[in-house]
Structures are given as structure tokens and as C-alpha cells.
Amino acid sequence: MNDRVTHAKQVLASQNIELPSWAFGNSGTRFKVFAQQGVPRDPFEKIADAAQVNAYTGAAGSVALHIPWDKVEDYAALAAHAEALGVRIGTINSNTFQDDDYMLGSVCHPDPAVRRKATAHLLECVDIMDATGSTDLKLWFADGTNYPGQDSIADRQDRLAEVLATVYDRLGDGQRLLLEYKLFEPSFYTTDVPDWGTAYAHCLKLGPKAQVVIDTGHHAPGTNIEFIVAILLREGKLGGFDFNSRFYADDDLMVGSADPFQLFRIMHELASQDVVGPDSGIAYMLDQCHNIEAKIPGQIRSVMNVQEATAKALLVDTEALSAAQASGDVLEANAVLMDAYNTDVRPLLAELRGELGLAADPMRAYAASGYAEAIREDRLGGQAAGWGA
Ligand code: AOS
Ligand code: ZN
Ligand code: ZN
């Protein structure tokens, strides 16, 4: 047990959970965006807020950008700003869903001119990776159709494959293309990358630098996500996660808030393959919006939720589990797993934070720091950089 705790602490001390820049801006639903005071006015301030999450958790050393929401004149300066605050630029997310030209799709659009425009944007994202030192390009396409007959399902796949190949060829050494899938929304009849199988098929054809991203909110209810994790891992095609929680569809709520047991099962699958640490090549990202709760504490809580699920997964008695599995002892195998899940790992994480020179309770420490009050004051009257701004 002590060895297991020591190992768990080592892994947890090195774990990195990437924060989305868009989590710090105003966001909402199609019905209403509730503006919060003190939200960032530009990408530099988003990174400053993300650095706060890292300062109190010690586990969020990178920030994902979304282009053009985070467009700046000088990306090297943005990267230097991040570095000065103790974080780095992570994944570059493309955006081919907020332009009038993309009503019928972007990379799958029937008009080659629209496809060329979308391709140019994706290539610009790779330029930004070069300028910021980012290694990952994350592609999520809103492409799809609403009505049977609207477009050819097969032709759209050919168009998608062609654009992906162009972008793939532009990648430099050490850069990856991460393809994200989503069952539905904004399209309601077909989505061009609706599931892991479609994403996997495209990535397989592209080559080793192309891998799949699992957004935990992008599946049909009841989907066994840990099974998808196991299959993609086995095939060397698991590039990363967009973590969040959902009760209904793509809710983008705080990870681990709706179904902490599902998060544990996913982390168990990963921990059992020893791919939780930063050298695993798997990007552990959050993709969330904090519509009604405070944003920086919302991110801190989310990082803590991932840490707790990871700690529990690392505490699974793997020898006992293997023995029970080998002997066909169904009840014992399940009990071993549930023992780990039911362990209160908060004292272990508090102890680890103490060893790392951090406050035992990041939520309280942040609240006591005065940062929230300071940004409310400093950023008063500014134009907030919200979701889609
Ligand atoms: C959209 O549903 C996806 O989750 C993407 O990852 C998207 O880029 C992100 O949620 C920001 O809107
Ligand atoms: Zn996502
Ligand atoms: Zn999503």
C-alpha cells in the first residue's frame, strides 16, 4: 500500500491538466450569456487567469488557445508572457464554425472556395503552433447536414480526407493533428466526424502524427467511454481528452461533477496502462464553460476533480485485481475496484500539495488571495473577451 501511495504521489506530482483559454471569458447558452465582472479583456489576461489556476493547483501548466478568439499580433510575445507566468501555450484549437461562409460546412462544404478558406485557416493555426511552440493542433468540425438528401455523405468524407491530408503534410517534426468527434450539434441529421470510428479511420489513413481526441460530452447517453479509451490506447491512436461533464448532451459542465464514477473508470483505464504522466503523449485538457459559476475557481475545482479521480485510479490494488480477474472472481474484482473508488483521497492530495509547497486547499487559498477582487477592480469597464469574441 505504501509503495502504491508513493507511486500515486509521484504520478500526481507530474500530472498536467491543460486549461482552455475560453473557460475564462464570458459564456452562456443560446438563450443568454451572463456577463461576469473582472473577466479577461484579451488573450494575455486569459493566460494570467489560467496561471492562477496553476499557481494554486501546481497541475495546470499549459493553456489551450482557440483561434481566432485568441488572435494576437505577436504570438511569440504571448508565449513569452505565458512563460513569465509559469505556464506555456498548449493545444491550438481551430475554429471553422463562426463564419457565414460555413453555413453548409467548412472542410466538407460542397463549394471548393469555402473549403480553401477553411484550409487556409487550419494552416494558419499550424503557423501559430510554430510561433508559440505548441505541438498539438486540435480540429473539431461543426460540419454536417440537417436533412436527408441535403448533401452526399460519401462525398463529404472525400472532401474531409483531402483537407486533412493537406494539413497533415504541413505539420512539422514533433507536431500532431488531433481530431475530435462529436455525435451531433450543430448539425442534427449527419455529422461528418460523429464518432471515434470515423475519427480513427481518418487518422489511420493520415499517419502516425494524427490521433483522436475524446471529448467526454460528445457521445450518446450510456456510451461506455472507457471502452473507447481502451481501444484507442491499444491502437496507439489516443491523442488526448477534452474533459467536461454532461447530464444531457454537450453540456460542458465541470469535469467530475455529473458522474465522478465515470471519470474514475476512464482514469483507471489510463492508469492501468501507465499513461497518466506528462510523457504519455496524451493531452489531458479541459473543455468547459462556466456560465453561472466563477471561472477561475471553476477551473481550480475541475483540476482537483481530475486529480481526485486520478488518485483513486492509482490506488487500485492491481495485483489483487489481476488475481481476481484471473480466477474469475467477479465479485472480488469488482470489490477491489470499488475499494479504490470509495477511498477518500483528499488527505493524500492535501499532503502532496504540502510537499510541493502549495496550500492544502487550493479553493480556499485562491479565495483568500484577493486576486478575484483585484481583477474586478482593474478590468472594470473593459470589453470582455467572451466565448466567440
Ligand atoms: C465543440 O463542441 C467542441 O467540444 C470543441 O472542442 C470546441 O472547439 C470547444 O468546445 C470550444 O467551443
Ligand atoms: Zn471539445
Ligand atoms: Zn463540445
**Closest of 59, 48, 131 to residue 82, by C-alpha:** 48
d(CA 304, CA 346): 9
**pTM for this predicted structure:** 0.98
d(CA 324, CA 73): 58
Q: Is the predicted pLDDT of residue 301 greater than 80, yes or no?
A: yes
CA of 142 to the centre of ligand 2 (A): 11
Confidence of residue 389 (pLDDT cuts 50, 70, 90): low
Would you state the cell numbers that stand for residue 16, as one nine-digit string?
498536467
CA of 250 to the centre of ligand 3 (A): 5
Number of H helices, E strands in the chain: 14, 10
Confidence of residue 42 (pLDDT cuts 50, 70, 90): very high
CATH numbers and ranges of domains, the chain: 2-378 (3.20.20.150)
d(CA 144, CA 113): 18
CA of 166 to the centre of ligand 3 (A): 25
Would you state the cell numbers that stand for residue 160, as one nine-digit string?
474531409
What confidence tens digit (pLDDT) does each residue in 356-379 have?
999 999 999 999 999 999 999 999
When pLDDT is averaged across residues 213-223 and rounded to a whole number, the result is 98
Candidate from 30, 93, 95, 290 with most ligand 1 atoms within 8 A of CB, to mutate: 93
DSSP letter string over 298-360?
HHHHHHHHHHHHHHHHHTS-HHHHHHHHHTT-HHHHHHHHHHHHTS--HHHHHHHHHHTT--S
CA of 319 to the centre of ligand 1 (A): 39
d(CA 114, CA 104): 10
Ligand nearest to the Cα of 246, by number: 3
What confidence tens digit (pLDDT) does each residue in 220-254 have?
999 999 999 999 999 999 999 999 999 999 999 99
**Closest of 243, 216, 362, 198 to residue 296, by C-alpha:** 362
- Count of C-beta atoms within a 10 Å radius of residue 101: 14
d(CA 24, CA 229): 28
Ligand nearest to the Cα of 22, by number: 1
Does residue 219's CB lie within 6 angstroms of at least one atom of ligand 1? no
**Closest of 132, 134, 107 to residue 122, by C-alpha:** 107
Q: What are phi and psi of 253, to 5 degrees?
A: -80, 175
Q: What are phi and psi of 90, to 5 degrees?
A: -100, -130
CA of 271 to the centre of ligand 1 (A): 26
**Closest of 19, 99, 38 to residue 386, by C-alpha:** 38
Does residue 42's CB lie within 6 angstroms of at least one atom of ligand 1? no
Q: Checking DSSP bridges between strand 136-139 and strand 88-93, what pairing results, if any?
A: parallel
d(CA 158, CA 361): 51
d(CA 16, CA 276): 9
Q: What is the average pLDDT score of the chain?
A: 97
Candidate from 215, 246, 285 with most ligand 1 atoms within 8 A of CB, to mutate: 215
267 strand-pairing partners: none
Does residue 140's CB lie within 6 angstroms of at least one atom of ligand 1? yes
d(CA 56, CA 297): 10
Candidate from 46, 106, 180 with most ligand 1 atoms within 8 A of CB, to mutate: 180
**Closest of 11, 62, 63, 19 to residue 276, by C-alpha:** 11
Candidate from 192, 216, 242 with most ligand 1 atoms within 8 A of CB, to mutate: 242
When pLDDT is averaged across residues 188-216 and rounded to a whole number, the result is 98
d(CA 39, CA 387): 11
pLDDT at position 345 is: 98
CA of 380 to the centre of ligand 1 (A): 28
Does residue 181's CB lie within 6 angstroms of at least one atom of ligand 1? no
Q: Alpha helix locations (H) across the chain?
A: 2-14, 43-57, 75-84, 112-132, 153-170, 196-206, 225-234, 260-271, 295-314, 318-326, 330-341, 346-355, 362-369, 371-378
Does residue 242's CB lie within 6 angstroms of at least one atom of ligand 1? yes
pLDDT at position 384 is: 77
d(CA 299, CA 305): 10
Atom of ligand 1 nearest to the CA of 185: 2
pLDDT at position 1 is: 66
pLDDT at position 385 is: 75
Q: Whose CA is nearest to atom 11 of ligand 1?
A: 287
**Residue labelled with grid coordinates 475519427:** 199
The one-character DSSP state at 101 is G
Residues above pLDDT 70, as percent of the chain: 98
Cα 170 to Cα 1, 95, 119, distances in angstroms: 48, 18, 11
Does residue 180's CB lie within 6 angstroms of at least one atom of ligand 1? yes
Q: Is the predicted pLDDT of residue 386 greater than 90, yes or no?
A: no
When pLDDT is averaged across residues 282-302 and rounded to a whole number, the result is 98
Would you state the cell numbers that stand for residue 221, as one nine-digit string?
447517453
CA of 247 to the centre of ligand 3 (A): 13
Neighbours of ion ligand 3 (CB under 5 A): 250
> How far, rounded to the nearest angstrom, does the alpha carbon of residue 197 sit from its chain's CA centroid?
19
**Closest of 174, 176, 171, 159 to residue 118, by C-alpha:** 159
Would you state the cell numbers that stand for residue 314, as one nine-digit string?
492509482
